[in-house]
Amino acid sequence: MKISHTELQACLQRPRGWLREKLTAPSHPFSMGYNRALLLSIYNYHRTRQASIARQYLHEIIQRHEFKDLARIGDVEIAFEAYVLWCETENLAVADSHILIRFGSGFLTLVGEVSRVDVTAEYYRAVLLGPFTPDWQRQLRMPLIQKAVSEKFARPIEEVAVAVQQLDGSNLQVRSYSKALLTRSERRFVQLSQQMQRHAGNSSAAAP
């Protein structure tokens, strides 16, 4: 069963409830919000390496999806320009953007999106763009993302870090987890996977 890294904390906190919702909730069509439009435009900027093309791409999304909130549109445009300025000021070296990760452990497979992987003097830095909570460094998904990115880019685990950053390029925070903590995190994910497999089996047995 696939579980997005964005859902992992919720699953840890209430595994039975998460599984029940996962098995019974109807699928929802993809919806385009203001932050998603900004993020996709950032991906376009890294792919094309041209701010003008990505800026036009953002405007096309706004028009295509008929965004109405002029204040929110203004905020998105300002954030995009601030992000581009940050990248140019930092002379950022980007290995890839919009990376899809996959980390399997039996019943559960952790999947999801990493916004950007930077090449720095110290690390391959895997960055999640968007709002984040103060406890982000304690979330189980972060060391697992470090492990997944290490495998995907064939880099030693100690040469990979994870990071969070706001969509306007501000407040970059970085953490690289030790091998010991990575081992404990993998073990915890395996335990969760086994637990969810038992719950899934019980749910199937209880079904009429």
What is the residue-level pLDDT of the chain in tens, covering all 208 positions? 999 999 999 999 999 999 988 888 776 656 789 999 999 999 999 999 999 999 999 999 999 999 999 999 999 999 999 999 999 999 999 999 999 999 887 899 999 999 999 999 999 999 999 999 999 999 999 999 999 999 999 999 999 999 999 999 999 999 999 999 999 999 999 999 999 999 888 755 444 4
Would you say 168 and 131 are in contact if contact means Cβ atoms under 8 Å apart?
Answer: no
pLDDT at 134: 96
How far apart CA 172 and CA 159 sit, in angstroms, is 18
The two structure tokens encoding residue 56: 């036009």
Q: Provide Rg for the chain, Cα atoms.
A: 19
pLDDT at 27: 66
Dump strand ranges (E) for the chain: 2-4, 94-105, 108-119, 124-129, 160-165, 173-175
Q: Provide the whole-model pTM.
A: 0.92
Phi, psi angles (nearest 5°) of residue 159: -100, 15
Q: Which of 102, 155, 98, 100 is nearest to 124 (CA)?
A: 155
pLDDT at 21: 87
Domain ranges in the chain are 2-26+93-206, 34-90
pLDDT at 199: 85
Task: Identify the residue whose tokens are 């204040």.
Answer: 71
How far apart CA 108 and CA 106 sit, in angstroms, is 6
pLDDT at 192: 94
**How far lies 49's CA from each of 93, 112, 129, in Å?**
11, 24, 18
